[in-house]
Structure 1
Amino acid sequence: MSDSTADTELTNRLRAFDYPAWRARMEATGGCAHPVRLRGSSTITAGDGQLLAQRSGEVWAPCGNRRDTVCPACSDRYAADAFHIIRAGLAGQERGVPASITDRPRAFLTLTAPSFGSVHTRRLTARGRVIPCACGEHHREPDPRLGGAIDHDTYDYTGAVLWQAHAGKLWHRFTIALRRALAARLGVSGRRFGRVARLSYAKVAEYQRRGLVHFHAAVRLDGPDGPADPPPTGITAEALRDAIHEAAQATALDAIRPDGTTLTLRWGAQLDLREITPSVHDAVTDEHGEITDTRLAGYIAKYATKGTGKTDGHPDRPIRSLAHLEDMALAEHHRRLIETAWHLGGLTEYAKLNLRKWAHMLGFRGHFLTKSRAYSTTFRVIRGERRAWRLAEQLAELGHPADDPVIVVNDWTLVGIGHHTDTDRELALAHAERVRTDRRNR
């Protein structure tokens, strides 16, 4: 579409008779790129039967997609909710989590994937000089080959995809091993660990340039009843770090290759582990390199909205056939990961993994943000508070006391998803960007 055509369509849209109604619905979603369009009615009735408000027609709801490449507005909202969930478990003083958790044994760890073959890398010396890659070149930062296999024909794509598909289960086994390691340090059996202590954590998955995920996690030791219960004596921050190292080395999971051989899945050799300290200034790390809790929540939460990497044209949604990849500007390395996941998904022995559904995610099937039950609050609680606040605001406009019970009856039917035209979508994206910019400038 030429610039003149786009300008003409934009002018016509702004002058359209339905533009005010469209804009009101669009702004109600925060500029959602793929709004859920509903048609029907909603009524609010007081406890004595008095009709307080009635609305009918078409309304829009945000799509709720967490990925910033799909919907920046909903991704922004998701990241904000994730921030509050993670921060509550790091700093306390909110959402039922006491401030005393900052005195607990805590650690911030990063678990990586093992190597499945040499890839192009760009590392720097202490003086900032580029270290030669295994291919012999000195790569510049924008080099599209970074993260890709040096030799695509010898790279173990099958092993990489199987590792991705089992990464969530590998994390689960790691937490079991960590509880056992902590139980041994407390002098109790693994089964009795839950009676004397509780392992609380929040983790997020992030894709590396090579297309494999690694996990960032904030880990905390509580008493058996959760954050309000002090942990048992005998476990220091140093003991927690030692237990994490022990558990990471002990964690293993066997998978079967298509040829029937066994592939033992483990964590990579690189394990970054740091103590979390209470914040004294607005920085992620202090002068000793330790992680401070004020901005660590934002550091973790932002990864929950990311996709599979920086590759242009990468699929953001499940693909239905490999033909969908033909028009995408994919790096050869990522293309082969997707193709491998797709081919493995067609084999009977991998039916339970449902790899074709997750081929666009390079085989990774897990949630990007997970937490233990007692770490802090939940998305459901936060979203419920948001709905309650909006209802209270609406009742205040109607002059009805917010603490008096009301009956809300919704009767909506789905009529479509997304904007009708590209112009409408671009206007919504522009609105979402203005909202984000205004918030940052406050």
Structure 2
Amino acid sequence: MAARDMAARFNRRDFGAWAARTRRMGGCAQPVHLRGRVHYLDPLTGEILHHYSTAREPGGVLRVACKTRRASRCPSCAEIYRADTYQLVRAGLTGGKGVPATVTQHPAAFVTLTAPSFGPVHARREKPGGAVAPCHPRRNAGTCPHGRALSCTVRHAADDGRLGQPLCSECYDYAGSVLFNALAPELWRRFTMALRRRLAKAAGLTLKDLGETLTVSFAKVAEYQRRGVVHFHAVIRLDGPGGPDTPPPGWATGDVLADAVRAAAGAVTVQSPAAPGVPARSLAWGDQVDIRAITASGKLTDQAVAGYIAKYATKAAECVGTLDRRVRATDDVDDLPVTAHARRLIAECLRLGALEEMAELRLTDWAHMLGFRGHFSTKSRRYSTTLGALRQARIDHNRRDHGITTGRLPLTEEDEVLVVAHWRYLGQGLTPGEALLTAALTGRTLPPISTYEGTPT
């Protein structure tokens, strides 16, 4: 069927235009199908400067990139998101995109905040020389109450399917795991508040006075560990009261920042709701808090940090073996194409989400994300540019490239081109044959979800 579909598309008279559009989209795996028209008008005279209609497109349909950030859904669009995130993070460390180059002189650290343990899991640990250490070597460890060994001497390969799986799934704290994911954004918020208080204390200032001399800027990304719990990587930078345009006070050094991060991470907790059979619990960061200074010529450079954070901005919980879509009401959890560990986590989200006391956590809606419902990449207002600004710069460039102007200098609103558009959504995705052709045209391996959903064209 896919071969016949591919042949039918290839033999159409408009295949050349279809292929050209596919290349311009970079091989988008699930393009959005639209039908409509656009008028570019001179608002002062009402003259039509340019007219566009999808009638001239293959099949009378315009296909536009889906712009998803998830690499599991569309590698092409996710790469653009990753590149934008890289530029955003690096601009906050080296300048550019509206950030002065003097920001390189501001103290900055790469911070990793991890989750606590919810039970031992199979892990791969590399020694400094590169040798792989045994997983959980414990002498005379015995067995757990369920009869499973509490020791594992296997040196796991990087692709071992057991990585992240509990040594005993009956002993593992699944409720704690999903509740931590659900409350991790609040724990981060409290951490940033505690960090400012610790910095104020270090300077002998009140919190109000601190804001008049120092600004704490950050950019962070959430990463899933294989056990299904999120942890955060963040760039934290100290600025003056005007943000990156002003230098921080002399007392705000890298050592002061590191001490404040360490103290704040150990001080904050968040309380989970109590429900019948589910007691309230106090959740906190794990014991492993990694703080490393970012320098232009040191071991941890701005390029390395920006690349590391950008890499995780396009990923979700795929490494855990879960879904990249929401769990539907019609889904049978036992039949979902996920790992046994992910299935238990999803089931726990659904169980807790059904409790009235847990409604605010929206665990049912975010079961596929194992409880985490926060944004994967966030930043403080003054850290650097925004993703929206980077996208707008591309839009403005394309408009200038097409040369659609009123012919007047854009001094007032009447000198700007007025765009009037009418669009109708038809569907999204590729047919099996189109997916094969797209892969051949762009050299990209498309994910298996590339199936067209919508009105046939």
The question of a shared fold, defined as TM-score above 0.5 by the shorter chain, is answered with yes
Query: Is the contact made by 1:32 and 1:429 (CA closer than 8 Å) also made in structure 2?
Result: no
Report Cα offsets for 1:49-85 as digits up to 9, x if no partner. Answer: 3322111123222222101001111101111111111
The residue number in structure 1 matching 2:250 is: 233
The root-mean-square deviation of aligned C-alpha atoms, in Å, is 2.3
Inter-partner Cα distance in structure 1 for 2:355 and 2:436: 41
Query: Is the contact made by 1:122 and 1:138 (CA closer than 8 Å) also made in structure 2?
Result: no
The residue number in structure 2 matching 1:306 is: 315
* Equivalent position amino acid for 1:119 in 2: V
1:50 is matched with which residue: 43, 47, 60? 47
Shift of 1:414: 1.4
Choose 7-16 or 196-205, whichever is displaced more: 7-16
Inter-partner Cα distance in structure 2 for 1:165 and 1:128: 35
Query: Is the contact made by 2:349 and 2:363 (CA closer than 8 Å) also made in structure 1?
Result: yes
* Equivalent position amino acid for 2:211 in 1: G
1:413 is matched with which residue: 390, 405, 424? 424
SS at match of 2:117: coil
| Distance change (3 Å), C-alpha of 1:407 and 1:322 | closer
Inter-partner Cα distance in structure 1 for 2:330 and 2:155: 31
Shift of 1:433: 4.3
Inter-partner Cα distance in structure 1 for 2:382 and 2:16: 46
Query: Is the contact made by 2:72 and 2:318 (CA closer than 8 Å) also made in structure 1?
Result: no
Inter-partner Cα distance in structure 2 for 1:335 and 1:183: 45
SS at match of 1:44: strand
The residue number in structure 2 matching 1:355 is: 363
* Equivalent position amino acid for 2:49 in 1: L
SS at match of 2:227: coil
Alignment of 1:4-403 (within 5 A): 6-46=2-42, 47-57=44-54, 58-92=61-95, 94-134=96-136, 135-141=151-157, 142-258=159-275, 259-278=277-296, 280=297, 286=298, 290-311=299-320, 314-321=322-329, 323-395=331-403
Inter-partner Cα distance in structure 1 for 2:443 and 2:250: 49
Report Cα offsets for 1:243-288 as digits up to 9, x if no partner. Answer: 100001101111134325221110011111100001x4xxxxx4xx
Inter-partner Cα distance in structure 1 for 2:163 and 2:320: 11
Query: Is the contact made by 2:122 and 2:135 (CA closer than 8 Å) also made in structure 1?
Result: yes
Inter-partner Cα distance in structure 1 for 2:7 and 2:222: 43
Report Cα offsets for 1:269-309 as digits up to 9, x if no partner. Answer: 1111100001x4xxxxx4xxx31112321111110001214
| Distance change (3 Å), C-alpha of 1:193 and 1:263 | same
* Equivalent position amino acid for 1:428 in 2: T
Report Cα offsets for 1:183-206 as digits up to 9, x if no partner. Answer: 111211123321211100000011
Report Cα offsets for 1:161-180 as digits up to 9, x if no partner. Answer: 00000001100000000000
% of aligned pairs identical? Answer: 44
* Equivalent position amino acid for 2:293 in 1: E
Unaligned runs of 5+ in 2: 55-60, 137-150, 447-457
| Distance change (3 Å), C-alpha of 1:343 and 1:138 | same
| Distance change (3 Å), C-alpha of 1:399 and 1:7 | farther
* Equivalent position amino acid for 2:67 in 1: G
| Distance change (3 Å), C-alpha of 1:346 and 1:430 | farther
Query: Is the contact made by 1:72 and 1:432 (CA closer than 8 Å) also made in structure 2?
Result: no
Inter-partner Cα distance in structure 2 for 1:80 and 1:99: 20
Query: Is the contact made by 2:19 and 2:441 (CA closer than 8 Å) also made in structure 1?
Result: no
| Distance change (3 Å), C-alpha of 1:366 and 1:19 | same
| Distance change (3 Å), C-alpha of 1:113 and 1:127 | same
SS at match of 1:196: coil
Shift of 1:8: 4.3
Task: Flag as ranges the 4+ runs of structure 1 deviating above 6 A.
Answer: none
Shift of 1:6: 4.1
Query: Is the contact made by 1:200 and 1:375 (CA closer than 8 Å) also made in structure 2?
Result: yes
Inter-partner Cα distance in structure 2 for 1:400 and 1:418: 39
Query: Is the contact made by 1:208 and 1:309 (CA closer than 8 Å) also made in structure 2?
Result: no
Query: Is the contact made by 1:72 and 1:429 (CA closer than 8 Å) also made in structure 2?
Result: no
Query: Is the contact made by 1:28 and 1:60 (CA closer than 8 Å) also made in structure 2?
Result: no
* Equivalent position amino acid for 1:357 in 2: D
Query: Is the contact made by 2:178 and 2:370 (CA closer than 8 Å) also made in structure 1?
Result: yes
Inter-partner Cα distance in structure 2 for 1:322 and 1:151: 30
* Equivalent position amino acid for 1:133 in 2: C
Report Cα offsets for 1:105-144 as digits up to 9, x if no partner. Answer: 1100100000011111122334444333233231321221
Query: Is the contact made by 2:333 and 2:347 (CA closer than 8 Å) also made in structure 1?
Result: no
The residue number in structure 1 matching 2:455 is: none
The residue number in structure 2 matching 1:424 is: 434
SS at match of 1:291: coil
SS at match of 1:144: coil
Unaligned runs of 5+ in 1: 281-285, 437-442
TM-score by length of 1: 0.89
Number of residue pairs aligned between Structure 1 and Structure 2: 419
Inter-partner Cα distance in structure 2 for 1:80 and 1:291: 20
Query: Is the contact made by 1:121 and 1:146 (CA closer than 8 Å) also made in structure 2?
Result: yes
